[in-house]
Amino acid sequence: MTKSYLEKHLNQVLEAGNKIFVPYIMAGDGGLDQLNEQIDFLREAGASAIEVGIPFSDPVADGDTIQQAGIRALREHVSLTAVLETLNQNKDREIPILLMTYMNPVVQYGVKAFARALTEANVSGVIVPDVPMEEEAVITDALKEEELAFIRLVALTSPKARREALKQRAEGFLYAVTVTGTTGERAVHKDEVQAFLTELKEGAPVPVLAGFGVSTPDQVKKLSQFGDGVIVGSRIVKAFHENDRPVIKTLIAAAFNS
């Protein structure tokens, strides 16, 4: 498969001697009218790509902070359709955008129509945490037709053979889940995370990013030493909700000093 725009962009970050930083934001938390401005802020602050979450009523992978952000967005009547329409208003941005959603909204929208809508909104890839590798063709066939990256998640608890299979299928980047459980801030990560990231990086065809539980500049730096960068969700969502943007700038800057 040809390298996606997302993968090329992330490799350019690495070639420049920096680590990759992907912030997660919940679309519509505080109102959809803020989404494009938040994307512009994150791009200017130095984010490598941006993960945009779609609010969903049963977010099995999300911890409390992101769940609450999703509830606030749903109260604003935010939907997948509305998010795509909003992203369409700012489609000339150069920074890669990833959509993080669950499969139910995609099925409701229509899988092929969803893939086409992503392309129209200049979205580069998608993360769907409730679709296992064995069933991913339900969405990957449509994404492939539009040359969109399907981001696979690899867990600490995944057997070695499964990790290898996911690694070889990887597109855009490999999402290394560095905790057991849902998203959310963690004080420490287990010692086995270092070995986990090192193993994934060996022979990986795409960058390896550590996510879940990354919430401090020190964690950004430490985890970036063993992988190619990080994804930060709950801390970014909390900072936007509390209007504490200096925290976001500090987190992103840590990836450039790793």
Q: Which of 7, 62, 171, 199 is catalytic?
A: 62
By residue count, the chain amounts to: 258
C-alpha to C-alpha distance for 155 and 166, rounded to whole angstroms: 10
Between CA 62 and CA 64 the distance in angstroms is 7
3-state secondary structure the chain: CCCCHHHHHHHHHHHCCCCEEEEEEECCCCCHHHHHHHHHHHHHHCCCCEEEECCCCCCCCCCHHHHHHHHHHHHCCCCHHHHHHHHHCCCCCCCCEEEECCHHHHHHHCHHHHHHHHHHCCCCEEECCCCCHHHCHHHHHHHHHCCCEEEEEEECCCCHHHHHHHHHHCCCCEEEECCCCCCCCCCCCCCHHHHHHHHHHCCCCCCEEEECCCCCHHHHHHHHHHCCEEEECHHHHHHHHCCCHHHHHHHHHHHCCC
How far apart are alpha carbons 141 and 2 in whole angstroms?
Answer: 15
- Quick check: is 92 catalytic? no
Q: Are 158 and 166 in contact (CB under 8 A)?
A: yes
Q: Is 135 a catalytic residue?
A: no
Which residue in 7, 51, 171, 228 is the catalytic one? Answer: 51
Catalytic center residues: 51, 62
